[in-house]
Structure 1
Amino acid sequence: MKKYLSYIYVILSAVCWGFIGFSNRMLTEVGVSLGNRVFIRNFGTLLILTIVFALFHRQVFRIKLKHLPIFLCSGLLSILTLSLVYFQCQTMCSLSVAAVLLYLAPSFVVIFSAVLWKTPLTKRKLIALVVSLLGCVMVSGIIGGDMTASWAGIGLGVLSGLCYASYTVFAHYGLAHYESYTMIYWTFLVAGLGSVFFADFETLPLAFSGTQGIVGVCGVVIVATVLPYIFYTKGLEGVESGRASIITNIEPVVETLVGVFVFKEALTVWTVLGMACVFGCVILLANGDKKCEEKPVKS
């Protein structure tokens, strides 16, 4: 039961992350700049986590100085840099291309896991990886849609995938010494403070000037950041990192459904097939039969 609960946590994290596009669109439409969106997301999350943990879970504030580099890396690279390069990538490429490049992350995680922790590269995992990537391409609209990208944009997109994947790596090391909530708090402490340098405080009130901006702020901070990172880090306690990262490919499916039902975007045959591939990948990973042990792929 605990195993399946961990999978549920990872799936919930992907569902919540799927609302980041909706939240960002709300903020962009009211004129909130890139730097301020990054600041709102990271610093807002830091404020909420600080209040919640100060009231209910104060032990997260204590870490050993020798472990600080783990949180510096996860905060600056996995959160702050990811926000900056991914949002910029979306301005230089079509949204479909940006999304697919971001979701190269599971490929990087599988490679990192095999190299750093000697995690077996199984046939089941390889099949799931290929199927999930194919699903992402279909859902994004690259197949049967438009693909526009510059080389600089593609480079930023690949970098966003690396940054996204790096959180799983740093969380692996952090969770060896601390509980999941400590990992989350110190990561966002670093990211939140770092994002101050990108904020434009003169134009920041735009985000709070109307209902749409407030909805965007609540969405990007609570729904698309606080909840998913708690769920995902909690899920990593019971799900191997490579599998967890592949399962989060549910996120573009959620973003597609939000686009269809909220923004009235078209639902194509390719989109439906892509969603089926992504969900099939999750089922393939979560329902491995113990009687049929996965055999590592020979290299």
Structure 2
Amino acid sequence: MDTGLGSRFDADALGFALVFVSAAGFGTLGIFGVYAQRAGLSIPTVLVFRFVLGSAFVWTALAARGRARLLRGRTLGVAVALGALGYATMSGLYFVGLEFMTAGMVAIVLYTYPAFVVLLAAVAVGESVGRTTVLALCLALSGVALAVGANPAGASPTGVLVVLAAAVAYAAYITVSRAALDDTDSLVLTAHVLPAAAVTFLVVGAATGDLAVPRAPTDWAILVGVAALATAVPVFAFFAGLERLGASRAGIVSTVEPPITVALGALLFAEPVTAVTVAGGALVLGAVVLLQSSPG
């Protein structure tokens, strides 16, 4: 007799695979960032094309699935602000951080953002802060301090502060989007956030004179990789996995993202990885798992 366990197992397995693909895709962002630096591509150039091309991929996919729709009124205004201010700030600071630290270290420090999400939710909307939350925040920050202290060649105090600011900006983006757009389809929201962020970097690039249209095929390969492999594909894979696993389990599986970046950085760029660095990263990921596993 079919109890439905087989189909549930298949759905879970597919969900885990999709979220893993998403984490792996997002984990390549820092790697593409390093390649962009080495190719001489400016931050505004990379991010304009990331968000323009990423928007094209996302809108095309939504249209193919019959889910493309324009937001209106206040919802549209909030979505545009989230992209132009929140997500743009996080992305810009992330790439600035790559100028000071290795891709692996940037990934570890950025992954403190779930702890900041919980902290901001407590401050902004009055959610209670229990001992689990305090412990997770202490674990995350201790892990960053441990990883950075063990690998001064791969990090700097300035870089840590920049990427921690990126983590706070990302946490603010998540907190505001949850509170203000709770009933908005996440993929549709993403389709509006990406072009809004593109406009921000278009303005920044034009104002600073740092915006350029690449000519070399290798430059275009980097930009398409950032937009497709590190943006559009992981976005769709994550939400598809989320539908099958739920938020908590999807969040836990996503913690493979920093280790993937660390591994790729070591493999492709010979970025230093020590036992203490690994231990620090493990504390950060442990904090995320603790938050995702805690009730409430």
Q: CA deviation at 1:181?
A: 1.3
Unpaired runs of 5+ residues, structure 2, are: 1-7
Q: CA deviation at 1:97?
A: 7.0
Match for 1:15 among 11, 24, 41? 24
Please say if residues 108 and 284 of structure 2, whose CA atoms lie closer than 8 Å, have aligned partners that are also in contact: no
Please say if residues 109 and 144 of structure 2, whose CA atoms lie closer than 8 Å, have aligned partners that are also in contact: no
Q: Identify the residue that residue 291 of structure 1 maps to in structure 2.
A: none
Q: Which stretch of the first structure deviates more once superposed, 20-29 or 187-196?
A: 187-196
Supply the distance in 1 between the matched residues of 2:240 and 2:127 (Cα, whole angstroms).
20
Note the aligned Cα RMSD (angstroms).
Answer: 3.6
Q: Which amino acid letter does the alignment assign opposite residue 51 of structure 1?
A: T
Supply the distance in 1 between the matched residues of 2:240 and 2:172 (Cα, whole angstroms).
17
User: Is 2:276 the partner of 1:266?
Assistant: no
Supply the distance in 1 between the matched residues of 2:181 and 2:12 (Cα, whole angstroms).
17
Q: Identify the residue that residue 170 of structure 1 maps to in structure 2.
A: 176
Q: Which stretch of the first structure deviates more once superposed, 29-38 or 141-150?
A: 141-150
Alignment length (residue pairs): 280
Percent of aligned positions with the same letter in both sequences?
23
Q: Structure 1 residues 179 and 223 mapped into 2: Cα distance closer, same or farther (>3 Å)?
A: same
User: Is 2:53 the partner of 1:36?
Assistant: no
Supply the distance in 2 between the matched residues of 1:67 and 1:252 (Cα, whole angstroms).
32
Q: Deviations over 1:96-155 (max 9, x none)?
A: 7755654442332111222334434333343333334434444x54324345344xx666
User: Is 2:111 the partner of 1:110?
Assistant: no
Q: CA deviation at 1:174?
A: 5.5
Match for 1:217 among 219, 223, 226? 223
- TM-score under structure 2 length normalisation: 0.76
Supply the distance in 2 between the matched residues of 1:123 and 1:236 (Cα, whole angstroms).
27
- TM-score under structure 1 length normalisation: 0.75
Supply the distance in 1 between the matched residues of 2:162 and 2:39 (Cα, whole angstroms).
25
Q: Deviations over 1:53-74 (max 9, x none)?
A: 22323x4323231212221221
Supply the distance in 1 between the matched residues of 2:17 and 2:122 (Cα, whole angstroms).
24
Q: Structure 1 residues 111 and 277 mapped into 2: Cα distance closer, same or farther (>3 Å)?
A: closer
User: Is 2:55 the partner of 1:46?
Assistant: yes
Supply the distance in 1 between the matched residues of 2:279 and 2:223 (Cα, whole angstroms).
33
Unpaired runs of 5+ residues, structure 1, are: 289-293
Q: CA deviation at 1:221?
A: 0.9
Q: Which amino acid letter does the alignment assign opposite residue 130 of structure 2?
A: T
Supply the distance in 1 between the matched residues of 2:269 and 2:211 (Cα, whole angstroms).
30
Matches within 5 A, 1:232-251: 238-239=246-247, 244=251, 250-251=256-257
Please say if residues 27 and 257 of structure 2, whose CA atoms lie closer than 8 Å, have aligned partners that are also in contact: yes
Supply the distance in 2 between the matched residues of 1:257 and 1:155 (Cα, whole angstroms).
23
User: Is 2:154 the partner of 1:143?
Assistant: no
Q: Which amino acid letter does the alignment assign opposite residue 52 of structure 1?
A: A
Q: Structure 1 residues 284 and 9 mapped into 2: Cα distance closer, same or farther (>3 Å)?
A: farther
Q: CA deviation at 1:178?
A: 1.8
Please say if residues 75 and 188 of structure 1, whose CA atoms lie closer than 8 Å, have aligned partners that are also in contact: yes
Match for 1:182 among 181, 188, 198? 188
